[in-house]
């Protein structure tokens, strides 16, 4: 019964006939089941205390880190007609390679000798500017000559005026002398006449004195006449002085007006020359736009305009090109409630579509087929769906991302947060609490002196 003897009777005794054997057998199975349940319970309790890495999962897609490395479309800057294709879809093109040739469709630019004719117009207008410039120079010389002549004329008139002043002064003095002489002669004649009446003087002397009196009277009248003439000459000199100033002022004003009119024509001609030169450069640059070239090295992915003879509008899309050199990144979106939990430089676990992986959400180190990245940019505004965009770049120190990745491929990212026990994570999920918030920049020694940053205790 205790299986102590080497002589076994198990195969010689029919245990089904004895009830005691059946009771002992059932008791052994129950004990084994109880032990198994206890072991499983212990394993489960131990499992509940295992560390679990909280995370935020989000869908995204593969993009590029720099905007100039993303797929782009090439547009036609001018309107034209498709004449010849130089590439096919899937071809690799270097920067500056010709993709398409278009011809002109606007009647303004159809002249094949447009540049030569425009250059001739510019040359003719430049001659007009030169003529205006020479005319301005001639008017400047004329104005200079008029000013010199005016100054000389004014000096001459001023001299005449000065001479008139001096002549008036001289004649005034002569007139005063003649007046005195007339007064003396008048007195002497009166005396002589009285003396003749008294019989003292003879008639001959009286007549002689009368002659002198009449001569002095004639000199008085002559000197007064000269004085008046001198005053008239002085007035004429003054009038001539003012007339010369006014005359040359009118001439100078007219010459200055002609000069300003000529300058206005010159400036207008120069403006037209500048405008025509601008048009000439525009025509020259426009002719260079007939050949659509690649802006950078890349692959032609899709032709958006096909055929020969089709017309293109200004700014119309022609082909799409994918740059050959690019730095991959992941663009993923998170909900507003998860935004405070994400910081720049935060690690991200990434699962790419087409690359098989075994994912353990709470144990990132145990996952297989996952790749590491870090957050390099976070948008400050939400999109139309109310989500915030994250830009994730590869982690240089970790495993390289697959070289076969293509822009636009699907990806799923997991932002790694704090490590917590599994029981706590289950309790948090059941209560719909957010993950624990923590700041990666806080040092360990500071964490010892500060309160825990868990949102739920």
Is residue 280 pLDDT above 50, yes or no?
Answer: yes
What mean pLDDT comes out for the span 372-389?
87
Q: Which 3-state string (H, E, C) describes 76-105?
A: CCCCEEEEEECCCCCCEECCCCEEEEEECC
Q: Write the pLDDT tens digit of every residue in 110-124.
A: 888 888 898 999 999
pLDDT at 319: 92
Q: What band does 271 get if pLDDT is binned at 50, 70 and 90?
A: very high
Is residue 50 pLDDT above 50, yes or no?
Answer: yes
Is residue 417 pLDDT above 90, yes or no?
Answer: no
Is residue 362 pLDDT above 60, yes or no?
Answer: no
Is residue 442 pLDDT above 70, yes or no?
Answer: no
Is residue 444 pLDDT above 60, yes or no?
Answer: no
Q: For the chain, how big is the Rg over CA atoms in Å?
A: 60
Q: Which of 89-93, 193-197, 266-270, 324-328 has the lowest mean pLDDT?
A: 193-197
Q: Which helix (H) or strand (E) holds 389?
A: strand 388-394
Long-range contacts at 190-197 (CB < 8 A, ≥ 24 apart): none
Q: Residue 266: which of 121, 141, 134 has the closest Cα?
A: 134
Q: What band does 321 get if pLDDT is binned at 50, 70 and 90?
A: very high
pLDDT at 445: 44
User: Rounded distance, CA 71 to CA 324, Å?
Assistant: 10
Whole-structure pTM value? 0.55
Q: Residue 342: which of 389, 383, 384, 396 has the closest Cα?
A: 389
Q: Which of 28-37, 315-324, 434-443 has the lowest mean pLDDT?
A: 434-443
Q: Write out the two tokens for 357.
A: 């992986």
Q: What band does 93 get if pLDDT is binned at 50, 70 and 90?
A: very high
Is residue 171 pLDDT above 60, yes or no?
Answer: yes
How is residue 330 annotated by DSSP? E
Q: Write out the two tokens for 16.
A: 């089904």
Q: Facing residues of 93 across strands?
A: 298
pLDDT at 175: 82
Q: What band does 274 get if pLDDT is binned at 50, 70 and 90?
A: very high
Q: Which of 18-27, 155-164, 413-422 has the lowest mean pLDDT?
A: 18-27
Is residue 457 pLDDT above 80, yes or no?
Answer: no
What mean pLDDT value characterizes the chain? 80
Q: Which of 45-54, 154-163, 187-196, 227-236 has the lowest mean pLDDT?
A: 45-54
What's the distance, Cα to Cα, between the start and end of the chain in Å? 57
User: Rounded distance, CA 153 to CA 241, Å?
Assistant: 8
Q: Which of 21-30, 86-95, 167-176, 322-331 has the lowest mean pLDDT?
A: 21-30
Q: What band does 452 get if pLDDT is binned at 50, 70 and 90?
A: very low
pLDDT at 98: 92
Q: What percent of the chain has pLDDT over 90?
A: 12
What mean pLDDT comes out for the span 160-167?
84
Is residue 101 pLDDT above 90, yes or no?
Answer: yes
Q: Residue 56: which of 328, 390, 427 has the closest Cα?
A: 390
pLDDT at 451: 38
What mean pLDDT comes out for the span 299-315?
87
Q: How far is CA 352 from CA 69, 237, 406, in A?
A: 20, 109, 11
Is residue 446 pLDDT above 60, yes or no?
Answer: no
Three-state secondary-structure class, residue 344 = coil
Q: Please, what is the Cα angle at 95 between 93 and 99, to 5 degrees?
A: 50
Q: What percent of the chain has pLDDT over 70?
A: 81
């Amino acid at each position: 019964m205790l299986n102590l003897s080497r002589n076994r009777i198990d195969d010689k005794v029919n245990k089904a006939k004895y009830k005691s054997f059946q009771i002992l057998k059932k008791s052994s199975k129950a004990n084994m089941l109880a032990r198994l349940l206890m072991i499983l319970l212990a394993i489960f309790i131990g499992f509940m205390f295992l560390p679990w890495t909280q995370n935020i999962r989000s869908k995204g897609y593969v993009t590029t880190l720099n905007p100039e490395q993303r797929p782009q479309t090439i547009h036609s800057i001018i309107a034209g007609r498709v004449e010849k294709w130089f590439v096919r879809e899937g071809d690799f093109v270097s920067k500056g390679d010709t993709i398409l040739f278009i011809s002109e469709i606007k009647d303004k630019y159809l002249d094949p000798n447009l540049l030569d004719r425009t250059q001739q117009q510019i040359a003719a207008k430049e001659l007009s500017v030169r003529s205006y410039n020479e005319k301005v120079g001639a008017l400047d010389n004329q104005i200079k000559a008029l000013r010199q002549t005016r100054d000389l004329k004014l000096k001459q008139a001023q001299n005449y005026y000065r001479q008139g002043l001096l002549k008036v002064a001289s004649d005034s003095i002569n007139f005063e002398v003649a007046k005195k002489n007339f007064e003396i002669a008048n007195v002497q004649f009166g005396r002589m006449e009285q003396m003749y009446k008294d019989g003292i003087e003879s008639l001959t002397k009286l007549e002689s004195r009368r002659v002198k009196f009449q001569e002095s009277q004639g000199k008085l009248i002559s000197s007064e006449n000269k004085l008046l003439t001198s005053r008239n000459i002085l007035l004429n000199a003054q009038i001539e002085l003012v007339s010369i100033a006014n005359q040359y002022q009118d001439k100078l004003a007219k010459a200055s007006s002609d000069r300003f009119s000529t300058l206005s024509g010159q400036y207008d001609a120069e403006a037209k020359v500048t405008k025509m030169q601008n048009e000439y450069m525009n025509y020259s640059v426009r002719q260079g736009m007939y050949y659509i070239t690649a802006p950078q090295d890349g692959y032609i992915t899709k032709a958006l305009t096909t055929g020969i003879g089709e017309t293109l509008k200004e700014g119309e899309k022609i082909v799409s090109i994918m740059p050959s050199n690019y730095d991959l990144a992941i663009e993923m979106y998170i909900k507003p409630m998860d935004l405070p939990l994400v910081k720049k430089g935060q690690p991200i676990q990434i699962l790419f579509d087409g690359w098989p992986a075994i994912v353990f959400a709470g144990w990132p180190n145990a996952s297989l087929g996952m790749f590491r990245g870090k957050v390099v940019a976070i948008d400050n505004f939400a999109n139309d769906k109310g989500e915030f965009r994250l830009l994730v770049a590869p982690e240089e120190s970790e495993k390289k991302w697959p070289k076969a990745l293509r822009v636009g491929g699907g990806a799923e990212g997991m932002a790694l947060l704090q490590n917590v026990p599994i029981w706590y994570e289950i309790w948090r999920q059941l209560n719909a609490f957010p993950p624990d918030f923590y700041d990666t920049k806080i040092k360990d020694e500071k964490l010892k002196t500060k309160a825990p940053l868990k949102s739920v205790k």
